[in-house]
Amino acid sequence: MNAVARLSVLGILGVVACGGDSTNPTAPTGLTDQAALQSLTMGMAAVAASAASSDAGFALTMLPPVSAFTGQPLSQTSITVDGTPMQVFALARRVTYPSGTCLEQLLGISNFANPGSCTSFPGALSLILWQTSSASQAPDRVVVILADAGNASFAGLSSSGDPFLTGTVFPPIGIYLERSGAVWLASGGTLSSTVAATGQTCAMAPPIFATSATCGMGSFLETGNIAFSPLELGGVTTTGTHSITISAQTLSGIIQTVTATVPLTIPISG
């Protein structure tokens, strides 16, 4: 992973680590949805400030602010971390852009190494899983997965140095964090995601680069096993590896279909 992507992960880590040094593998699930979102907000607050326009950093900017999910139903589910079942909250979202939409076009830049390239948006499907027992502190652990519907492979991504624009697609990205300050990056395994609309409408602000989008509820059938390798960030020593298993289960989530896009504009002063 290159330096820019590491910086984006460090931003998340800095806030997750603020809550203390302990994790709670048996955290209760009695929190309200609002309390769980308040905790997640503390854990994700640094994403916008630290994410940069490359690799994992740019992909993370695809995530909406946690506040955007206020009033939306959360899922509570179980995952297995290193063989131990854990209860977590879950947010799932899929965003589709009009056919032929390219990052190069919306960013107003050219990929000189690959003229005429058309790179698709990263993180079309985002899945956030977090374990928390209090609204007043960051989660005990957070898993962020950015991929797309279908089968995603995380093989070989622990040392990802892929160029920002490839003319194809961004690789799937997985990040696992604990409140102790340790962070791991997905380095193997797969995730299968099947998304279907339920027909129920919802309300959410359009995603990045969009001026309008429809919003509907969806069912997200998720199953997979992902291996995570340690990253050394911010002076925090991370050791060992982790394996997270998501047994076949259906989560409630949001499907946004972008109907109109707008290029990024950068004001110039002088």
Q: Is it the case that residue 46 has pLDDT exceeding 60? A: no
pTM to 2 decimal places: 0.79
> 138 pLDDT band (50/70/90 cuts)?
confident
| Mean pLDDT on 183-191 | 90
**Long-range contacts: 211-214, Cβ < 8 Å, 24+?**
211/260, 211/261, 211/262, 212/258, 212/259, 212/260, 213/95, 213/256, 213/257, 213/258, 213/259, 214/256, 214/257, 214/259
The whole-number pLDDT of residue 179 equals 79
User: Residue 73 gets which letter from DSSP?
Assistant: P
- What does the pLDDT average to over 67-77? 80
Structure tokens at 251: 């989560």
Residue 73 lies in a domain: yes
Q: Is residue 269 part of a domain?
A: no
What is the reported pLDDT for 197?
96
Banded pLDDT at 258 (limits 50, 70, 90): very high
Q: What percent of the chain lies above the pLDDT cut of 70?
A: 68
Q: Is residue 267 part of a domain?
A: no
Residue 145's DSSP bridge partners are: 127, 174
- Judged by average pLDDT, the poorest of 57-61, 159-163, 193-197 is 159-163
Q: Determine the pLDDT at residue 103.
A: 79
- Per-residue pLDDT, averaged over 61-84, amounts to 81
Residue 162: predicted pLDDT = 47
Task: Tell me if 16 is assigned to some domain.
Answer: yes
Over range 103-123, report the average pLDDT.
72
Residue 13's pLDDT band, with cuts at 50, 70 and 90, is very low
Residue 157: predicted pLDDT: 59
Q: Is the residue at 11 inside a domain?
A: yes
Tokens, residue 270: 């002088």
Max mean pLDDT among 96-105, 146-155, 176-185 falls in 146-155
- The tally of domains found in the chain comes to 1
d(CA 232, CA 255): 35
> What is the structure's pLDDT at 101?
85
Question: Which residues of 104-241 form beta strands (DSSP E)?
Answer: 125-131, 141-147, 150-153, 173-178, 183-201, 210-231
Q: Residue 177 belongs to what domain range?
A: 3-261
Task: Name the residue with tokens 């290193």.
Answer: 82
Of the two residues 222 and 10, the one the predictor is more confident about is 222
Quick one: pLDDT at residue 14?
37
Percent of the chain with pLDDT strictly greater than 90: 34
Let me know if residue 146 belongs to a domain.
Answer: yes
Structure tokens at 57: 């950093």
Structural domain contains residue 270? no
Half-sphere exposure of 263 (CA within 13 A, CB side): 10
Would 268 be classed as within a structural domain?
no
What is the per-residue pLDDT for 87? 94
